[in-house]
């Protein structure tokens, strides 16, 4: 049976729904054995020791079923190694973000104080074009492979090939539905209670972050990506939206502007990715118009380096870390609410 979760990480509601799913699963299982129970705690205890198998979840390419708890999990894309660690599980091998290179912790500093085993971080898991290396994946003899769909290397043909090695979970959800993906992984690994706890902790971090920048609620922002002489623009950035900030829709509709049009950045807050070039910050700040931008005058510019950009892959450990980085930059912002 599929587990019911929310598309947004609101812990109290998510916990209620997930607990309901656990209760329903427990009751059905016991009825089949001629037993009755109304104790959700019994089912939670079972999840800690491996849960009830077989379990079935949806993927981009259809359902997969595990007959028993996986012991040799390989994560080839996305923040899935982080999700496993949050659930108390360890992959036998995992690939981090390509932006991190060989130094996983440099690119994922929020993992420094966790139980992640960096010795099994293997950059060879990913071949050219972000596609998994079949040979490297197979060498670990996995009983579960975790990755993302066609946008990140696992198209349907690759899915079929990897499935000859082991069952493959490719999340069917959008990137900002991280809680649904986490709940699927909790179901697959028999760690539902840990999944609920992780969701609750993330929601608590959102509550704390919103309080830190309460004076900025409703302030406008644009999300930019500096690529050579252009700034690619987008809005509806999950973390900022959850903090109560508002996309400048007109600016986002432009999709891209050249640096020559820098003065079109008129939002209260400017979040800009600078990881692509060592000179990115200098390029922006050396422009004579930079100091005139409202976001600069508001002290509300966020430079996103490789680590902060990696954190936007939205793992349950990365999100609180990213919120700390973002709110630290915005706490002293001086946006004039009267102008909004």
What is the model's pLDDT at position 212?
97
User: Which is more confidently placed, 205 or 6?
Assistant: 205
Q: What is the DSSP letter of 293?
A: S
Confidence grade of residue 236 (pLDDT, cut at 50, 70, 90):
very high
What is the model's pLDDT at position 59?
96
Q: Is the pLDDT of residue 35 over 70?
A: no
What tens digit of pLDDT does each residue of 278-288 get? 899 999 999 99
What tens digit of pLDDT does each residue of 255-303 get? 999 999 999 999 999 999 999 888 999 999 999 999 999 999 999 999 9
Q: Is the pLDDT of residue 13 over 50?
A: no
What tens digit of pLDDT does each residue of 92-137 get? 999 976 666 678 899 999 999 999 999 999 989 988 777 899 999 9
What is the model's pLDDT at position 103?
86
For residue 139, whether the previous peptide bond is cis, meaning omega lies within 30 degrees of 0, is no
What tens digit of pLDDT does each residue of 138-191 get? 999 999 999 988 766 789 999 999 999 999 999 999 989 999 999 999 999 999
3-state helix, strand, coil in the chain (%, to 5): 50, 15, 35
What is the model's pLDDT at position 187?
98
Q: Is the pLDDT of residue 74 over 90?
A: yes
Burial of 218 (0-12, 13-18, 19+ CB in 10 A): exposed
Query: Rounded CA gap, 289 and 286, in Å?
Result: 9
> Lowest mean pLDDT: which of 39-43, 53-57, 200-204?
39-43
Q: Is the pLDDT of residue 48 over 80?
A: no
Token look-up 């595990």 returns: 66
Query: Rounded CA gap, 27 and 38, in Å?
Result: 7
**Residues in Cβ contact with 97 at an 8 Å cutoff, skipping those fewer than 6 apart:** 107, 108, 306, 310, 313
| Two structure tokens written together for 140 | 């670990």
What is the model's pLDDT at position 335?
86
* Cα-based distances in Å from 296 to 99, 189, 329, 330: 27, 46, 12, 11
**Residues in Cβ contact with 23 at an 8 Å cutoff, skipping those fewer than 6 apart:** 38, 40, 43
Q: Is the pLDDT of residue 33 over 50?
A: no
Beta bridge partners of 270: 222, 301
What is the model's pLDDT at position 58?
97
What is the model's pLDDT at position 4?
32
**Residues in Cβ contact with 45 at an 8 Å cutoff, skipping those fewer than 6 apart:** none
What tens digit of pLDDT does each residue of 187-222 get? 999 999 999 999 999 999 999 999 999 999 999 999
Query: Rounded CA gap, 97 and 293, in Å?
Result: 32
Query: Rounded CA gap, 112 and 91, in Å?
Result: 16
H/E segment holding residue 259: none
């Amino acid at each position: 049976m599929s587990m019911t979760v929310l598309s947004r990480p609101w812990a109290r509601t998510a916990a209620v729904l997930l607990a309901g799913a656990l209760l329903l699963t427990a009751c059905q299982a016991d009825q089949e054995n001629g037993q009755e129970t109304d104790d959700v705690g019994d089912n939670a205890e079972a999840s800690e020791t491996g849960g009830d198998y077989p379990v079935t979840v949806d993927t981009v390419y259809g359902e997969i079923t595990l007959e028993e708890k996986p012991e040799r999990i390989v994560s080839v894309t996305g923040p899935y190694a982080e999700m496993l660690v949050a659930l108390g599980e360890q992959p036998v091998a995992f690939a981090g973000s390509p932006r991190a290179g060989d130094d996983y912790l440099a690119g994922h500093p929020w993992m420094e104080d966790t139980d992640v085993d960096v010795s099994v971080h293997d950059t060879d898991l990913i071949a050219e074009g972000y596609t998994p290396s079949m040979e490297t994946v197979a060498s670990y003899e996995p009983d579960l492979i975790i990755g993302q769909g066609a946008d990140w290397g696992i198209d349907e043909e690759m899915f079929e090939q990897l499935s000859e090695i082991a069952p493959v979970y490719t999340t069917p959800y959008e990137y900002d539905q991280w809680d649904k993906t986490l709940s699927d992984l909790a179901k697959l690994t028999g760690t539902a209670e840990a999944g609920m706890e992780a969701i609750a902790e993330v929601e608590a971090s959102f509550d704390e972050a919103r309080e830190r920048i309460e004076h900025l609620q409703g302030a406008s922002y644009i999300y930019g990506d500096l690529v050579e002489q252009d700034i690619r623009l987008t809005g509806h950035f999950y973390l900022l939206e959850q903090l109560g900030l508002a996309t400048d829709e007109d600016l986002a509709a432009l999709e891209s502007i050249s640096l020559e049009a820098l003065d079109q950045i008129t939002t209260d807050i400017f979040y800009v990715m600078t990881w692509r070039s060592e000179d990115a910050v200098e390029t922006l700040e050396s422009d004579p118009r930079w100091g005139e931008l409202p976001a600069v005058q508001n002290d509300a510019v966020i430079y996103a380096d490789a680590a902060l950009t990696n954190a936007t892959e939205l793992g349950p450990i990365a999100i609180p870390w990213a919120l700390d980085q973002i709110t630290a930059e915005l706490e002293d912002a001086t946006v004039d609410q009267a102008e909004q």
